[in-house]
Structure 1
Amino acid sequence: MVEQEDARPAFRRLDQARPLHLVVQQEIRAYILDQGLRPGDPLKPEAELARLFGVSRSSVREAVKALESIGVLETRRGSGVYVGGFSFAPLFDHLHYGLLQEHRALRELVALRKALEADLIAEAMRVMSPGTVAELRENLDEMRNLAERGAGFAEQDRRFHQLLFRDLGNSMLLRLFDQFWLAFHAASPPLRGRTPLAAYRSHAAILETVLSGDPDRARVAIHDHYRGIEAKLADPAEAQPGLAP
């Protein structure tokens, strides 16, 4: 009895109609998935990939560099090429650049943050621990102290939004929210009229409604928080020195 061959071989000769480095990128990704390779697993050497795919080493090298730039692969000097660990960072590096180029994209990112936080706040309130509440109060006190001196509080703001959803236990969600914050903070023009005290009061209103136990009020507070930011971003001509959300 003849054994049936696998439906898809580990490697196959490639159609050269499309730019080869793009085809090789696709095939390398497919191979990683098909073989169940994990972050840190080695990939075959460049010369062997070129031979198996039937392409030049330069096409493989170009494909590997492109996959490195988005975190799929990692080259270790003197050791070889390995499967990279998952990271949002390459994606948000591109997002940062796009936000700097396109003001509309910046407003859309704020709208997305608002929708996600408002949708998840009820569940976050349900599982929030006393320890997290205490950290939120302490963080808000730091905001107030800085705001009363007319100082900004970017790191406290970042921490506030992390703490709100920390107890959901969803590490990917927290990383996504944090990368949204970082991308916005890096690309946003400072907002006219948003004084430190106004920004503090907006965060204080969110915490007050969270502690009230009323998710509907909390959703309104989050919408209000982002609505003010959206209004300041509505017209690029209005962007003047101030604060990020």
Structure 2
Amino acid sequence: MSSPTEAGNPTVFDMFTDAAKRVVVHAQEEGTRLHHRRMGPEHLLLGLLREEEDLAARALGGLGVGYEAAEAEVLRAIPARKRPVDDGLPFSRETRAALRYSFHASARHGHGHLGTEHLLLGVLYRDRATVPGLLRNLGIAPERVRGEVEDLIAAMTREAAEPGPPVTNPATEAPSPTPPRSPRERTRPRGPPEAGDRLRAALPRRPADPGVRHAAHGRSGPDEHAGWRGDDGGLGPDLPPGAPAAVREGPSGAVASGTRI
């Protein structure tokens, strides 16, 4: 099977590193496994933690956030349903907003790729959003996570400018420090090398419905995760000029062949 780009069907995920693509695949798997009806930012958080060697998981692990603790908090907020769901969960509104902010984070740092570090900054984009709420429930201030990610990006940038053989980040081949790993983290299966193929298969086939605020903040609605709506409607600002057009068109666009957010 060819990748989305090779098949002549470019997607908004072309900027994603292989690790970031695997995170989206992992997130789809997590939502499907828990029988949730939307792929929410909480599933992206679990997907980020499954890419244990990449920058986002190392930033979270350095603050003591591991997969098991995060999974338990997700299940406390949104219990697993009994009825199975189809593969290819639609993105919630908040997930689409988080992805838009991820592109902003990449552009702000002048990066030509979108890695797990940008995805983590994306799901932390608003203090009242889902993942910041989950982290607070785990005793971790969201601003500490943001600071840890920014520090790692800065250290990676400094090392890239220094002479000598670098220690590389597996996702971007940019130099990356290795902070201490949390003893609470357990080994999770890594994504396969065919990240693009699996991502294309996992992409949602229909748009997410507008919805209500998230159960993690004590609010419920017709779906367990129809999406959080902040002051900006949960959609985020316009994307920078370099972002894919399909992202700039916004969540109102239909999900056609899995190419729109």
Instruction: Return the TM-score normalized by structure 2.
Output: 0.27
Structure with greater Cα Rg: 1
Higher relative contact order, structure no. (Cα contacts within 8 Å, ≥ 6 residues apart) = 2
Kindly indicate which of the two structures has a greater share of residues assigned to helix.
1
